[in-house]
Amino acid sequence: MGNIMSVSFAPECTEKKTKYDDCFNKWYTEKFLKGTSMENECTQLWDDYITCVNAALANHQIKPSLDKAREDQPFSHEEISGSDKK
């Protein structure tokens, strides 16, 4: 059965993303949800992927609007957890 994985906005990062997503989803369902691991076990794959993404964000000129959004709306932990208590 073929998997259709979502792609990265930067084509050169999609393969790295797929490998990381596979690792993450396995860890999430098998360990995190069961409370047996609070350690990210996909660090090497993550490093490969995020290095690619960060370079692409700069190249595609998405970085400035992203930085502004992060500054305007940080969506802090307090803000996120507070939205369930409104």
Partner 1 sequence: MKLFESKHDFLYPWDQVTAANWQKYPNELSTHVVSVDILSRSIDKENKVLRTERLIGCKQPVPRWMTALVGGQEYSYVREISEVDLVNKTLIMKSHNLTMNHLLQVNETVIYKPDMDLPGQRTLFIQQAEITAFASFSRICDKIEDWSVERFGQNAKTGKMAFEGVLKTLGDKWEESGVFVKDVSNSLINDIHEVTEKTSEVLSEVSKLGNVFRDD
- Which stretches of the chain bind partner 1, using CB under 8 A? 1-10, 13, 17, 20-22, 24-26, 28-30, 32-33, 35, 38-40, 46, 49-50, 53, 62, 65-66, 69-70, 73, 75, 77, 79-81, 83-84
3-state helix, strand, coil in the chain (%, to 5): 65, 0, 35
Cβ proximity to partner 1, 15 vs 50, nearer residue: 50
- Least CB distance from residue 47 to partner 1, whole Å? 12
Round to whole Å and give the CA distance between 38 and 36.
7
Sequential DSSP letters for 65-77: HHHHHHHH----H
- Least CB distance from residue 69 to partner 1, whole Å? 5
- The single residue listed with the structure tokens 């970085």 is 63
- Least CB distance from residue 31 to partner 1, whole Å? 10
